[in-house]
Amino acid sequence: MADFDDQILAGAFADFRNEVAPHVKPAGTAAAQQTVHRRHRVKTIAATTLAALAIAAPVVAYAAVGDSNGPPPVVPGESATVAPTEAAPTTADSPTTPATSPSSAAPDGKISKTDLGKATLDIPAWPGGLAAGTCPEGKVKFTDGKAGYNGVAKLKGDLVYADVDHDGAQETVALIECTPQGSDFQVIAFDRDAGGKIVTLGRVVGSAGSLGKQGTDIETIWAIATGDNGQVRVDVGDYRPCCEMAQASQHQWRTYGWNGTKFTQTGGPTAFGTNPNVTALTMTADKLTMTTQADGTRTGTLKVTVHNGAQAATPGQVEFSLGVDSGWQAQAGPECTFQTGGSPRSCTLPSLAAGASRVITIQLTAPAGPLNTQCTLYVHAVTPDNGVYPDRKADNSVSVQVVEG
C-alpha cells in the first residue's frame, strides 16, 4: 500500500511543478515576497492534496479488492456507523450465500376415521395365500370404513397420529384387517399432499398370511400405538387367527420408524422364541385286545399315557378323545368322564404340568358282529370357549390296533 501512495503523491507534485514553473520571476524584493506567497500557497495546496489522498487511498484500495464482503474501512475521525446500502447481486462464484425465504408449512396429515373411512386409498399388496385375489389392493374405495366384496377389508380399532416423516406435521396410521378366512393385516401410514388429497406414505408392517410360517412370522396384528420421536408401536403375534391357531399367538410390541424411504423395525423383539401357548403333547398305547363274551359282544381294556413334553404347563385343560364306532361303549376312571353318544368320545382333564404324564384307563365294549380293527386317539389343550391350542405336531393323533382275544 505504501508504494501505491508514493506513486499517487509523486504524480500530483509533478503536475503541480509543471503548472507553476513558467511563472517563476528573477530575484528581488518583490520577487522574494511573491516567492514567499507562492510557497505558502504551495504548502496549502499540498496539504489539501495530502488530506484528499489520505481519504481517497483506502477507498480506492477497497474498490480494488471487490471480493471483500465486509464494510469499507472506517476513516479515522469519522463515525464507525455505516449507512445501510443495497446488497449487490450474488454471482455464481461469490462466497456469499443468498438469503432464503422460510419454507411453507407441511400439509396436515391428521385424518379423521370418518374421512379415512370414505376415501379412495392406495392399499399395498396383500400376502399370498387366502388373501391373494380376495383382499382389495391398489386404488380402493372405502365406504363406512369397509371395502371389497361384502366389506372383507375394514379399518380396525382406533387411528393413531404421529409425525412419522419429521416434517413438522402429523401423519395418520391405520390398522386394516382383511378376513377371507381367518384374518390378514396391514398397518399403513397416510398423509395429505399439498392439495389436501389423502396419499399413502408407506406400509409400516403387515402379516405373512396363510403361506407364512406359523410360530415364526408375524401372523396377527392386534393394535397400534404411537412411540417416541414419530415412531409407531405395533402389537404382533405369531399365529394366524384361524381355526385351532386362533388362541395361540403370543403378544409382542415392536417399534417401527420411517427412514425417508420406507418403514423399518427400530425397537422391540425381532423373533418370537418359544411360544408357551403351543403344546407338545404325546400319547402312547398298547394294542387293544377285545375278548368275545357269551352274548357275542366283545370287551377290552385300553391303557393310554398322555405326556406333556413342553417346558411349560399346558395353557389350558387337556381334552382326550377316542374315535370308535358309534355302537361302542366307553367308560374311564374318575379322571375322565366321556360325553355320551357320538364319536369321538371325549373327556376333559386338568392342565398338565411341564414334563408330567397322566394314565387313562378305558373299559370298552363292542357290539356283536364284525369288529373294527382300528381306533384313533386324539389329544389337545383347549380354551374355556372350546378353542384349541396348536401342537408342535401337525397331526396330534395316534392309531391303535384292535385285535380279537
In this structure, the answer to whether residues 132 and 238 fall within a common structural domain is: yes
Whether 285 contacts 377, CB under 8 Å: yes
**Amino acid identity, position 169:** A
Among 283, 255, 280, residue whose Cα is nearest residue 393: 280
In this structure, the answer to whether residues 126 and 263 fall within a common structural domain is: yes
Q: How many CA atoms lie within 13 A of 352 on its CB side?
A: 28
Q: How many residues does the chain have?
A: 405
Position 132 in a domain: yes
In this structure, the answer to whether residues 287 and 390 fall within a common structural domain is: yes
Position 83 in a domain: no
User: 22-36, 46-60, 74-88, 113-127: which has the minimum mean pLDDT?
Assistant: 74-88
- Give me the CATH number covering residue 307: 2.60.40.1530
Among 140, 257, 270, residue whose Cα is nearest residue 202: 257
* Bond preceding residue 334 cis, omega within 30 of 0: no
In this structure, the answer to whether residues 208 and 130 fall within a common structural domain is: yes
Position 290 in a domain: yes
* 54-74 residue pLDDT tens: 434 443 333 344 443 344 443
Task: Tell me the mean pLDDT in the region 126-148.
Answer: 96
In this structure, the answer to whether residues 260 and 382 fall within a common structural domain is: no
In this structure, the answer to whether residues 328 and 218 fall within a common structural domain is: no
Q: Which residues on adjacent β-strands are paired with residue 331?
A: 363
* 322-351 residue pLDDT tens: 999 888 999 998 888 887 766 789 999 999
Position 216 in a domain: yes
Alpha helices in 223-289 (DSSP H): none
In this structure, the answer to whether residues 240 and 339 fall within a common structural domain is: no
Position 231 in a domain: yes
Position 52 in a domain: yes
Give me the pLDDT at residue 104, please: 62
Task: Tell me the mean pLDDT in the region 225-243.
Answer: 94
In this structure, the answer to whether residues 144 and 229 fall within a common structural domain is: yes
Assign 50 a pLDDT band (cuts: 50, 70, 90). very low
Q: How far apart are CA 32 and CA 109, in angstroms?
A: 97
Choose between 77 and 277: higher pLDDT.
277
* 161-204 residue pLDDT tens: 999 999 999 999 999 999 999 999 999 999 999 999 999 999 99
Q: How many Cβ atoms from other residues are within 10 Å of residue 249's Cβ?
A: 26
Residue recorded with cell 404340568: 353
Task: Tell me the mean pLDDT in the region 200-211.
Answer: 97
In this structure, the answer to whether residues 250 and 177 fall within a common structural domain is: yes
The alpha carbon torsion through 285, 287, 293, 299 (nearest 10 deg) reads 20
Q: How far apart are CA 240 and CA 397, in angstroms?
A: 22
- Boundary residue ending a domain (214, 233, 267): 267
> Is beta strand 288-292 parallel, antiparallel or unpaired with respect to 397-404?
parallel
pTM of the predicted model as reported, rounded to 2 decimal places: 0.66
- Boundary residue ending a domain (233, 267, 301): 267
Residue 184 Cα to chain centre, angstroms: 18
In this structure, the answer to whether residues 245 and 312 fall within a common structural domain is: no
- Boundary residue ending a domain (267, 290, 311): 267
Using CB atoms within 10 A of its CB, is residue 140 exposed (0-12), middle (13-18) or buried (19+)? middle
Give me the pLDDT at residue 393, please: 86
Range of the domain at 50: 2-61
Average pLDDT over the chain reads: 80
- At 23, give phi and psi (nearest 5°): -95, 10
Q: How far apart are CA 405 and CA 398, in angstroms?
A: 22
Position 98 in a domain: no
In this structure, the answer to whether residues 126 and 261 fall within a common structural domain is: yes
Q: How many Cβ atoms from other residues are within 10 Å of residue 132's Cβ?
A: 16
Position 209 in a domain: yes
> Helix or strand or coil: residue 149?
helix
Q: How far apart are CA 50 and CA 53, in angstroms?
A: 5
In this structure, the answer to whether residues 124 and 223 fall within a common structural domain is: yes
How many domains, the chain? 3
Among 242, 270, 252, residue whose Cα is nearest residue 390: 242
Instruction: Give, rounded to a whole angstrom, the gap between the first and last alpha carbons of the chain.
Output: 128
Give me the pLDDT at residue 66, please: 41
